[in-house]
Chains A and B, each alone.
Chain A
């Protein structure tokens, strides 16, 4: 940018020296500024973690490892254990990914490989629009539309037609608000993230890749399976991870649909709890010091869980990329 096409009024040597010394000051200032901004963000993150961890410390000290393992959450007597919320957070997010990933991948494959060009943009736009719907609207829609549909059609179908009622996963009474309902709403909410990233990645697969497979006599399906998907694997995984991050932290819609009950049940139809819902529900009215501290400790645990999951995901993406690099 500095060299540009500016006219050079003085002799070559003078001009160059002048410009270099001037640029040195500007460069240094610029470098300092961007370094400051770049460092500020991680420092802010660490500060937040530090403050939340510090505020949660009394609860960790009072209950020890039992805080993560106990199922008792009794604000009246000041006994706190977050195991059901931790369990609910992980299971509802995994459930969301199990439902959303095949759907999102299907949408992405259809749009990148099969859809006629005139259909691509509108469908992609509509799917992306799912990400723009506010969380509380999903929650309301969930209460008034999704829950009755699940209760009256989907759950009877799963239980009676598919005979899943005998398995522990779908046993017990089905009132509506449940881990299953939370998983379904989360699946709808993370679907646009996964499909959008996957679509971009699939579209970025070089044409030569497909043509090579077709030239070898592969069918369309064999081309996708053998040439396109492996190429896009790490990118798709990245999209799934993005969805997982969104699912772990989602609060409002889940709070409205999960039934908010401190219990670990093998049945997906039983109400459950998540860490984010717990904080949202109780923080405003928590007065006891230990209660506030316990909620902060839950916040810190959620923070750590998200960090661990993201680190794992990075490692997974890195490994997949490396393996793919080795085979190519």
Chain B
């Protein structure tokens, strides 16, 4: 793995050179394919988009789902035409990118649900962010804790110890989840904080959504978190979360889109879309949700590839939403799509950074 990574780094300068030459007027062949790399979470919907788009226009897009971190690294080195990430790039990462300023374009949204295994409980449990944070901080240790019982008066909670299960591998899912806990719990924010991996104060780590789900299924008294799409496809039980306006909301495609709509209305004109939509305002908004982004350079050194990438992104924003819901991804709210298309207009083609 190390050798491969080093090899990619080593290739970077020559790739940049090649694209610069192409931008300098040498016509490349019309069959140029775009290459991208990054997040695994949106891979199913992206590959559906890429194959639909190839069938329609003949433009082939090659995407490697190597993880958000890899996507950011490869875009920064200029080895791919675009990257994809589940957590926005940090300022220092943006500053160290070789190709100049980077644009973040939200594509779809995902949500994270709290899944649990509590013997004798059949209806969805109700949770607040504070209680969820205290469970994951190891402060609430029993299922029949007074604060849990107060939220769920109709449910008989067992006298059982809570086992926290979290992701052991770095993951956008963990990023969204810890981003939410940081937003609602000062203790979480000053403790573990927000990240794709954090220092967990309680519980044990399992690899991947399937690892967390498997561990929760097998251990009575456990609680964990997984992506909404994974939970729905595997029929896992999940909690209703109290949102910023005080309602208990079940995670659905609609409630996630509502979260983005609530945030979108308050966005300033100058936003760079590196925004969090956890604990979003607005009626019916599910609080543990996030965008996933495609990232690209604002100055596309290779004009031809840049144009193809823009064409694809415009198509994906306009047409992609309908196929997203079928794969359990929440589409962007309509008002955001129009603003994002305007933003794509700021991309320049063929000029050197």
- Identify the A interface with B (CB < 8 A): 48, 51-52, 55, 72-77, 143-144, 147-148, 173, 175-177, 255-256, 259-262, 271, 277, 280-287, 296, 299
Contact between A281 and B199 (Cβ–Cβ < 8 Å)? no
Q: Which residues of B contact A52 (CB under 8 A)?
A: 2
Q: Mark B170-211, 1 if CB is under 8 A from A, else 0.
A: 111000000000000000000011111111100111110001
Contact between B218 and A148 (Cβ–Cβ < 8 Å)? yes
With A282-B170, A286-B69 in contact, is A177–B215 under 8 Å at CB? yes
Contact residue among B90, B170, B192, B194 (Cβ-Cβ distance under 8 Å from A286)? B170
With A73-B199, A285-B170 in contact, is A255–B207 under 8 Å at CB? yes
Contact between B218 and A143 (Cβ–Cβ < 8 Å)? yes
Contact between B205 and A285 (Cβ–Cβ < 8 Å)? no
Q: Mark B62-73, 1 if CB is under 8 A from A, else 0.
A: 000011111011
Q: Determine if B272 is an interface residue (Cβ-Cβ < 8 Å).
A: no
Those 10 A-B pairs whose CB atoms lie nearest each other, nearest first: A285-B170, A260-B205, A260-B168, A284-B67, A259-B204, A76-B193, A74-B199, A76-B195, A285-B69, A271-B204
Q: Which residues of A contact B2 (CB under 8 A)?
A: 48, 51-52, 55, 296, 299
Q: Determine if B163 is an interface residue (Cβ-Cβ < 8 Å).
A: yes
With A284-B66, A285-B169, A286-B170 in contact, is A76–B204 under 8 Å at CB? no
CA distance A74 to B195 in the complex (A): 10
Contact between B205 and A173 (Cβ–Cβ < 8 Å)? no
Q: Determine if B307 is an interface residue (Cβ-Cβ < 8 Å).
A: no
Q: Which residues of A contact B348 (CB under 8 A)?
A: none
CA distance A75 to B199 in the complex (A): 7
4 A-B pairs besides A281-B207, A286-B170 with CB distance below 8 A are: A76-B198, A260-B168, A277-B168, A286-B197
Q: Which residues of B contact A287 (CB under 8 A)?
A: 68-69, 72-73, 90, 93, 196
CA distance A52 to B193 in the complex (A): 29
Q: Which residues of B contact A51 (CB under 8 A)?
A: 2-3, 6
| B131–chain A nearest beta-carbon distance, Å | 22
Which residues 115-172 in B have Cβ within 8 Å of A in the complex?
A: 161, 163, 168-172
Q: Determine if B1 is an interface residue (Cβ-Cβ < 8 Å).
A: yes
Q: Which residues of A contact B72 (CB under 8 A)?
A: 287
Q: Determine if B214 is an interface residue (Cβ-Cβ < 8 Å).
A: yes
CA distance A205 to B136 in the complex (A): 59
With A76-B193, A175-B219 in contact, is A256–B207 under 8 Å at CB? yes
CA distance A151 to B18 in the complex (A): 59
Contact between B198 and A75 (Cβ–Cβ < 8 Å)? yes
Q: Which residues of A contact B214 (CB under 8 A)?
A: 143-144
Q: Which residues of A contact B69 (CB under 8 A)?
A: 284-287
Contact residue among A175, A277, A285 (Cβ-Cβ distance under 8 Å from B204)? A175
> Could you name 27 residue pairs across A and B whose Cβ atoms are closer than 8 Å?
A48-B2, A48-B3, A51-B3, A55-B2, A74-B198, A75-B196, A76-B192, A76-B195, A143-B211, A143-B215, A144-B218, A147-B218, A148-B218, A176-B215, A176-B218, A177-B206, A260-B206, A261-B200, A281-B169, A281-B205, A282-B197, A284-B69, A284-B169, A284-B170, A285-B170, A287-B69, A287-B90
CA distance A282 to B199 in the complex (A): 12
CA distance A271 to B200 in the complex (A): 13
Q: Which residues of B contact A255 (CB under 8 A)?
A: 168, 207
| B193–chain A nearest beta-carbon distance, Å | 4
CA distance A173 to B204 in the complex (A): 12
Q: Considering only CB atoms, which chain A residue lies closest to B195 in the complex?
A: A76
| B202–chain A nearest beta-carbon distance, Å | 9
Contact between B161 and A173 (Cβ–Cβ < 8 Å)? yes
CA distance A281 to B172 in the complex (A): 13
Q: Considering only CB atoms, which chain A residue lies closest to B66 in the complex?
A: A284
Q: Mark B56-83, 1 if CB is under 8 A from A, else 0.
A: 0000000000111110110000000000
Contact residue among A143, A173, A283 (Cβ-Cβ distance under 8 Å from B1)? A283
Contact between A281 and B206 (Cβ–Cβ < 8 Å)? no
Q: Considering only CB atoms, which chain A residue lies closest to B192 in the complex?
A: A76
Q: Which residues of B contact A283 (CB under 8 A)?
A: 1, 170
CA distance A191 to B90 in the complex (A): 47
With A175-B219, A284-B66 in contact, is A75–B197 under 8 Å at CB? yes
Q: Which residues of A contact B207 (CB under 8 A)?
A: 255-256, 260, 281
Q: Which residues of B contact A282 (CB under 8 A)?
A: 169-170, 197
Q: Considering only CB atoms, which chain A residue lies closest to B203 in the complex?
A: A261
With A143-B218, A176-B219 in contact, is A284–B70 under 8 Å at CB? yes
Q: Which residues of A contact B199 (CB under 8 A)?
A: 72-76, 262
